[in-house]
Amino acid sequence: MDKISKEDWQFSVRTDLAIEAREMIQTESEVDVSGVTVEVEKNPDYDITVTWVKILNESGQKSIGKPIGNYITIESPSMKENDVDASEEMIRTLAKKLVELKQLPDEAVILVVGLGNWNVTPDALGPKVVSKIVVTRHLVEYVPEQIDESVRPVSAISPGVMGLTGIETGEIVQGIVSKVHPDLVIAIDALASRKTSRVNSTIQISDTGVNPGSGVGNKRMALNEETLGVPVIAIGVPTVVDAATLVNDTMDILLDTMKKQASKGSEFYTMLQEMNSNEKYQLIQEVLNPYVGNMFVTPKEVDAVIDRLANIIANGLNIALHPGIELGDINRFAH
């Protein structure tokens, strides 16, 4: 097949994670990406890795295919497991990184938006997070004497999806923002990953906003500072991979095994060694398309995992947004 350009390949590989976009470009070029910096922190006690990708200029934006800004990725295989200690550590890590990403005055008004369809489990992360948020705007407004200064006015909404409401999600959020006048919007959404290993085990935080539905190729009106008039932080978890990604990862394992079995220097070994990963992925998409179409896959235990992830994200937000609330206070404040 004809060799595809790097630009074409970037759009053929579906990922919402800046860390993966950067990894793919660097793997192909084998040099650091211009206009992009990366900082990595590791917590070996809980097997947590935090990667902060900063896209600094238009050169980095063009290379990665993501807007200029900050992208923080928290990864841990423990997110898939019912490990209480690891979950609490991830909550603290998420809260800490949120505070580092956006410093807020104590009186800041925050709107949390849970994107997605609550009727579809892999897409229900946003609504489930909203159900666990400590909402206080009504209390600050109507019974201020019962609220201390360490609690910020926070409101939350799950606007649903266009298929349920008939209204563009961005239009709903725009209308709420125009009435509530928040200082910050935090949008939670399900994403798509390029690697099966990152499904349900990765949280991405960014300050560049979000395109609802982008994880499954249904790009809608963007929620960002340009469209809403206020800063937007996006929090997402990859809950699905497309079928081509699943087949691609399986082929990688198969090819590695075949390389070990093939004789070095043979024509077959040379063909395997020179197979371009870009071309391989494109070929898989073309072969699968007539049979499975635009299929997305999620693990069978997604129900329990989504509940666990929603708890981690919601409690991380509760701690970050309310300076007076600590992890031990969550059950007392949660509704």
Structure confidence by residue, pLDDT tens digits, 148-199: 667 899 999 999 888 888 899 999 999 999 999 999 999 999 998 888 889 9
Q: What is the pLDDT of residue 171?
A: 93
More confident residue, 311 or 255: 311
Q: Residue 226 is which amino acid?
A: E
pLDDT-derived band of residue 277, with 50, 70 and 90 as boundaries? low
Percent of the chain with pLDDT over 90: 49
For 187, other C-beta atoms within 10 Å of its C-beta total 24
Strands 69-75, 296-297: pairing is unpaired
216: pLDDT strictly greater than 60: no
List the one residue out of 251, 205, 176, 24 whose CA is nearest residue 98. Answer: 205
The model's pLDDT over 44-82, given as tens digits with 9 standing for 90+, comes to 999 999 999 999 999 999 888 899 999 999 999 999 888
pLDDT, mean of residues 293-302: 76
Q: Which fold has domain 6-245+295-333?
A: Rossmann fold (3.40.50)
Secondary structure (3-state) at 183: coil
Contact 128, 120 (CB under 8 A): no
C-alpha torsion 183→67→197→203, nearest 10: -10
Contact 210, 116 (CB under 8 A): no
Residue 287 has pLDDT above 50, yes or no: yes
What does the domain layout of the chain look like in residue ranges?
6-245+295-333
**Would you state the pLDDT for residue 316?**
96
Residue 291 has a pLDDT of: 62
CB-side neighbour CA atoms (13 Å) of 226: 7
